[in-house]
């Protein structure tokens, strides 16, 4: 799953930025946005891959609770 989320075009520091620069509350908002984005577009764009990405962010949101 990490391969789906951590593509080279996101840059090498994106994961570090998310973990180091945002508070847990801010990360929750980011996760929520990503979940909505991937669920709403999965039919028109990447199908199962987008659903797996939504699942990844949902699991992260659950961990932050």
> What is this structure's pTM?
0.74
Residue extents of the structural domains in the chain: 2-63
**pLDDT score recorded for residue 37:** 96
pLDDT of residue 52: 93
Terminal Cα distance for the chain, rounded: 21
The half-sphere exposure of 63 on its side-chain side, counting CA atoms within 13 A, is: 9
**Chain-wide mean pLDDT for the chain?**
83
Predicted confidence (pLDDT) at residue 51 exceeds the cutoff of 70: yes
2 pLDDT more than 90: no
Q: Are 4 and 56 in contact (CB under 8 A)?
A: yes
pLDDT, tens only, 36-47: 999 999 999 999
């Amino acid at each position: 799953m990490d391969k789906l989320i951590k593509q080279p075009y996101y840059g090498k520091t994106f994961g570090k930025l998310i973990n180091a620069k945002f508070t847990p509350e801010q990360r929750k908002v980011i996760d929520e946005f990503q979940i909505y984005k991937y669920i709403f577009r999965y039919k028109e764009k990447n199908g199962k891959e987008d659903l797996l990405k939504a699942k990844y962010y949902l699991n992260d949101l659950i961990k932050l609770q």
